[in-house]
Structure 1
Amino acid sequence: MTFSTLQNLAFRLSVTLFFLVLFSGRISAQDKDSIAIQYILKGKSFYKADDYEKSITYYNKALALVEKTKNDVLIGDIHTKKGHAYLLSGKNKEALDAYDKGLSMAKKTKDLDQEFVINSGLIQVLRRMNRLDKAHTIASGMIKSLDQTSFKNTHNHVNILTTVSDIYLAREQYDSVLFFSKKGIEVSKNLDYKEGLVDFYIKKGMIFYYKKEYDKSFKYLFDAQDILLEHDITNQSFPKVNINYFLASSYYEKGLYDKAIEILHKTTDAAEEKDVMKPPVIQSYLLLANCYGEKKDFEKALYWNNEYVRLIENYQKDKDETLNSIYEKDAQKLKSEIENLKKEKGENIKKITFGIVTLLVLILIFIVFKYVKKQKLNKILFNDLLEKINQLESNGAIDVKKESSKEIIIDDDKVVEVLKGLTRLEDQEYFLKSDCSLRAMAKKVKTNATYLSKIINIHKEKNFNDYINDLRIEYALMRIKNDKKFRSFSIKSIATEIGYKSDYSFAKHFKAKTGINPSYYIKNIQKQETSFETV
């Protein structure tokens, strides 16, 4: 008889005993807690098997029992485990709600270790919602107070380093990711913690992919894959998807489209309904479309692109709902603080409460005023921008910010040749390449980086980075306006298409040049096109 069989038998006997005691009318709080623990263990076994739906079912059964016994420690533990299950199944809003309840219990019982576990999951939700500043604040606090917990040099220490690395990865601070990955690998090896090694090897593979060092990327990704194949590691589906995506991405960059397609189909073929809300799975559909596009198989390219668009719309809906939930919880937290203040201070608090409420009302009025004002300003900026595009479209250039009109006299043959070379590269849209750099461009126009930088400063009246960013934003403005299919892409996909490594960088430069966010521009272009079609 195997250990698994014995475990199932013990669980069934415990449940049978529970119902015998229940119907005999002599069930005690201790009995309920004991059965709840059996449910938790059963839920945990399904969690390890990647069956998150069944896992949550058993956690809910346990929760129904311990809520009657008011066992705050078990209640907090169950909510935390539910949060983890929801997180790995891609249900961000449900994960946020579960973590919030678990955090309340952890604070109530003053369990700092439990707070750390919950915050690790909470950071992942915030990262997915692009609330990187808030996630970074929580992560920094965890690192500073790690010595106050029992986690030092344990599996949870590795998990915390993993969580912190995720934030730096999202913020494109790659040197920080490599720093924490090195520490994480060291601790994981000392503990023989295979899950930790897999995660950090994947992260290093990702970093070297972003740095375009594909051979190094392959090394770490294959190291991670070997560990998954050789060891019985729980929750393998998510690391497998990540490994497949970045292996395929590296093959795609090297022009090996068939290899990329073969790997990506491993993800799409194995993906269940519960998996399709995970970002790496969604991005795999887009990469498949790009691979087939490069192979000139446009029928399949269109199919996978349509699937990607469908999934990204559902993901965005879930993301919006989760963000609303985050804001609601922030407001509820403020309300709870006011209520606690009332209890502590009694009648005297009425004046303070009135002042706080008044201040909140004023803040709310101010926020509404600023919002309305911002919307009006955005509309003005959008209309001005559109007018400039329409006026200058025939010239092939867009002044998103007014440039100096002083004339420049060119009397140096070398300068003339370099400027001609820049014009040629602009016509070839070289600036859309993600590896477009000052050194690379200088090589293209047959000069050195220092000389090219000076020419751009003098004759383009801007530094190199502003020069490239202006060209990219001008291109994006024009193509979004005129290309309906391009307009349907996600912000991240558009950013990648025009040479940016992240949607954050693209949005930052777009707003700096136009005064509005790319999402606002796309939405209003779409509205305008729809209104024209209606007319």
Structure 2
Amino acid sequence: MKYIRKLVCSCCLLLGSFGWANPILNQVPDSLKDKSYQYLFSRVQQSENTKIKELYLRVFLLKAKAEHNWKQQVNAYKTYAHHESDSLKWIYADSMVYIARVSKDSTLIGSALISKGAWFYQAKDYVHALALWTQADHLITGQSNPYQRYKLNYLIALVKYYLDYTAEALTLLQSCKDYFKEDHTRAYLNTLHLLGLCYNKMGDYGRSSAINSLGLKVAAEAGEHEMDAYFLLSEGINQYFLHNNGEAIAHLKNALQVIKRSQNFSSVAVADFYLGKSFWEMRQLPRAMVYFKKVDSIFKVKGFLRLDLLENYKLQFQYYKSKGALKNQLYVIEQLTKAETVLHDNYKTVSKELHRQYEYQQILDQKRKVQSLLLLVHYKNIWVSVLVILVLVAITLVTYNRYQYGKKFDKLINRLEGNISEPTSRQDQSDHKKLGISDEAVQTILVQLEKFEKNKGFLDEDLKAYKLASMLQTNATYLSSVINRYKKKSVVAYINDLRIDYTVEVLHSNRMFRKYSNEALAKEAGFSSTPRFVNAFKRRTGISPTFFIRGLEEKQRK
């Protein structure tokens, strides 16, 4: 759908080129009909108001169409393309080339192809840029304007350098250098700079350094210093490859200060990368990572990356792998995957080389491996979190229980030392009637129970409810009713509580008993088993025998 809209727009623009002269001219305001192309173009360039700029540009195009002036129509579409958004830029660029071809003027066609190629170059589509510039070169070869030819040769060499056709670029640059040397200082400096880069890429660092020195000398003699930072950048890269890392860092930092001000993000990325590599060789890995991250930041924001800069991610991955930083490893692999896609689009002819150097399938395998490890770490973290929570809950419970045990221990000690009196059951005469037992029988049982408690009859291990009733010369029913009413507990609980009260007393008063085991204490108190003793002790005091003994020992030490 997007392509169809683009095609329709192109057709509409082009059809306007073949209309009748007078109807087209009638669309031009009277005040502008007699204005020259130079006047109209200057207004387009000078106006800051978008609507006014569009008005003059529209008049410029209509005037060119009316006069069937192919050159000025091409200039109009070129200007439109220059000022429009990316979506419309290519429509006007196509119109520009089409009109140039209709003119059958090889110079005009070559100029249009050069302009369109420049926009592809700006979009980092080097393959299409090279194709268009190569077509243009065939068209303008043999023309009387040598500067235009050598300028185009320089552009072709530049793209060939990026696409790794370095030897071909070098041949073109040698001829450009000889021509520009005489009267075109800035073009000469640009050519020298690119020559230095080509020698560097070919590993001839001596020639590259010599070219950089020559460039700085020529710039100083001509007073042209705009290229100084780029010669310094090139020399910094040379020094890195010569393992002179200190010199490399000095050159690169000096270059970076100037290049940053010009907002040339691609050169900034290159400088950051080789600064990182220099620090990496010096084993200053954290400092190297600072610059590698800057290269990644430029790639994320601007989408710029060269084939040699791809090593940035390889080194980052090594660093994070040595640190066991799985999330960072995964991020780097994902960025490397994105980078491969960008490089494949911009450098289609070197895609195989890219796969060979960086073993792309292995990168994907490594990504899956890291993802699996991250998943395991995720589950491990969940289990660790659960375990930590359980431990915290356990510690909280233990702390709370200790606190509660402490309160119960203090209460028990206060009672033993007479600070708190034991509540006594109030005997109400009406209680006897509710029991259905005579007052005399009730009083007899209560008196016998006092004697039983005083004589510590409860320490008898074989003591049962029926045996106690027999000892008190009553029946089990009467005994159970009286104990329930006056002691507020069952016969078994009554006997067990007496035994525990006795144990608590002897442990408090006689330190020797504290050395007894629970089993020995149970036997001493008349319990038939240790578990029954421990359960009865906890029910009566709220704490365990062990905790009570430990509390007594700690209290005595204080």
Q: TM-score, normalised by structure 2?
A: 0.49
Partner of 1:12: 54
**For residues 360-396 of structure 1, what are the alpha-carbon distances to aligned partners after superposition, in whole Å with 9 as ceiling and x for unaligned?**
xxxxxxxxxxxxxxxxxxxxxxxxxxxxxxxxxxxxx
Q: Shift in Å at residue 140 of structure 1?
A: 2.9
Letter paired with 1:289 = F
> Quick one: distance in 2 between partners of 1:239 and 1:19?
38
Write out aligned runs for 1:495-506 (5 A): none
Partner of 2:278: 250
> Quick one: distance in 2 between partners of 1:118 and 1:158?
16
Shift of the 130–18 alpha-carbon distance from structure 1 to 2, 3 Å rule, reads closer
Partner of 1:300: 328
**For residues 262-293 of structure 1, what are the alpha-carbon distances to aligned partners after superposition, in whole Å with 9 as ceiling and x for unaligned?**
33333323435873553355343333323433
Write out aligned runs for 1:178-257 (5 A): 178-230=209-261, 233=262, 236-257=264-285
Give the match's secondary structure for 2:183.
Answer: coil
Q: Shift in Å at residue 184 of structure 1?
A: 1.5
> Quick one: distance in 1 between partners of 2:301 and 2:328?
21
> Quick one: distance in 2 between partners of 1:20 and 1:152?
38
Partner of 1:167: 198
> Quick one: distance in 1 between partners of 2:160 and 2:56?
39
> Quick one: distance in 2 between partners of 1:201 and 1:133?
23
Residue among 72, 85, 90 paired with 1:34 = 72
Structure 1's unaligned 5+ residue stretches are 325-487, 495-518, 523-535
> Quick one: distance in 2 between partners of 1:280 and 1:93?
18
Instruction: Say if 1:126 and 1:132, in contact at 8 Å, map to a contact too.
Output: yes
Shift of the 322–119 alpha-carbon distance from structure 1 to 2, 3 Å rule, reads farther
Instruction: Say if 2:277 and 2:288, in contact at 8 Å, map to a contact too.
Output: yes
**For residues 138-160 of structure 1, what are the alpha-carbon distances to aligned partners after superposition, in whole Å with 9 as ceiling and x for unaligned?**
2333334445xxx6342111111
> Quick one: distance in 1 between partners of 2:44 and 2:56?
19
Letter paired with 1:246 = Y
Partner of 1:84: 118
**For residues 36-66 of structure 1, what are the alpha-carbon distances to aligned partners after superposition, in whole Å with 9 as ceiling and x for unaligned?**
32443565578xxxx9887656544433433
Residue among 168, 173, 187 paired with 1:139 = 173
> Quick one: distance in 1 between partners of 2:201 and 2:82?
29
Give the match's secondary structure for 1:271.
Answer: helix
Instruction: Say if 1:103 and 1:115, in contact at 8 Å, map to a contact too.
Output: yes
Structure 2's unaligned 5+ residue stretches are 1-42, 363-558
Q: Which shows bigger deviation, 274-283 or 101-110?
A: 274-283
Instruction: Say if 2:81 and 2:90, in contact at 8 Å, map to a contact too.
Output: yes
Instruction: Say if 1:124 and 1:163, in contact at 8 Å, map to a contact too.
Output: yes
Instruction: Say if 1:77 and 1:102, in contact at 8 Å, map to a contact too.
Output: yes
Letter paired with 2:100 = V
Residue among 286, 295, 307 paired with 1:267 = 295
**For residues 227-284 of structure 1, what are the alpha-carbon distances to aligned partners after superposition, in whole Å with 9 as ceiling and x for unaligned?**
1344xx4x71221111121122222223333333333333323435873553355343
1:117 matched to 2:151? The reply is: yes
Instruction: Say if 1:120 and 1:160, in contact at 8 Å, map to a contact too.
Output: yes
Q: Shift in Å at residue 222 of structure 1?
A: 1.8
Instruction: Say if 1:11 and 1:38, in contact at 8 Å, map to a contact too.
Output: no
Instruction: Say if 1:155 and 1:191, in contact at 8 Å, map to a contact too.
Output: no
> Quick one: distance in 2 between partners of 1:189 and 1:54?
43
Bigger-Rg structure (1/2): 2
Q: Shift in Å at residue 207 of structure 1?
A: 0.6
**For residues 276-328 of structure 1, what are the alpha-carbon distances to aligned partners after superposition, in whole Å with 9 as ceiling and x for unaligned?**
5533553433333234334442431243134324533663576454899xxxx
Write out aligned runs for 1:461-500 (5 A): 491-492=356-357
Letter paired with 1:243 = A
Shift of the 2–14 alpha-carbon distance from structure 1 to 2, 3 Å rule, reads closer
Q: Shift in Å at residue 74 of structure 1?
A: 3.7
Q: Shift in Å at residue 103 of structure 1?
A: 0.6
Partner of 1:516: none
> Quick one: distance in 1 between partners of 2:80 and 2:223?
26
Shift of the 175–276 alpha-carbon distance from structure 1 to 2, 3 Å rule, reads same
Instruction: Say if 1:83 and 1:98, in contact at 8 Å, map to a contact too.
Output: yes
**For residues 334-377 of structure 1, what are the alpha-carbon distances to aligned partners after superposition, in whole Å with 9 as ceiling and x for unaligned?**
xxxxxxxxxxxxxxxxxxxxxxxxxxxxxxxxxxxxxxxxxxxx
> Quick one: distance in 1 between partners of 2:60 and 2:266?
36
> Quick one: distance in 1 between partners of 2:79 and 2:218?
27
1:158 matched to 2:189? The reply is: yes
Q: Shift in Å at residue 102 of structure 1?
A: 1.6
> Quick one: distance in 2 between partners of 1:321 and 1:489?
10
Shift of the 154–99 alpha-carbon distance from structure 1 to 2, 3 Å rule, reads same
Letter paired with 2:279 = Y
Give the match's secondary structure for 2:243.
Answer: coil
Shift of the 206–146 alpha-carbon distance from structure 1 to 2, 3 Å rule, reads same
Instruction: Say if 2:229 and 2:259, in contact at 8 Å, map to a contact too.
Output: yes
* Count of matched residue pairs: 319
Q: Shift in Å at residue 180 of structure 1?
A: 1.0
Instruction: Say if 1:106 and 1:112, in contact at 8 Å, map to a contact too.
Output: no
> Quick one: distance in 2 between partners of 1:86 and 1:186?
33
Partner of 1:103: 137
Letter paired with 2:56 = S
Q: TM-score, normalised by structure 1?
A: 0.51
Shift of the 277–211 alpha-carbon distance from structure 1 to 2, 3 Å rule, reads closer
Shift of the 53–90 alpha-carbon distance from structure 1 to 2, 3 Å rule, reads farther
> Quick one: distance in 2 between partners of 1:42 and 1:272?
30
Letter paired with 2:188 = H
Q: Shift in Å at residue 189 of structure 1?
A: 3.8
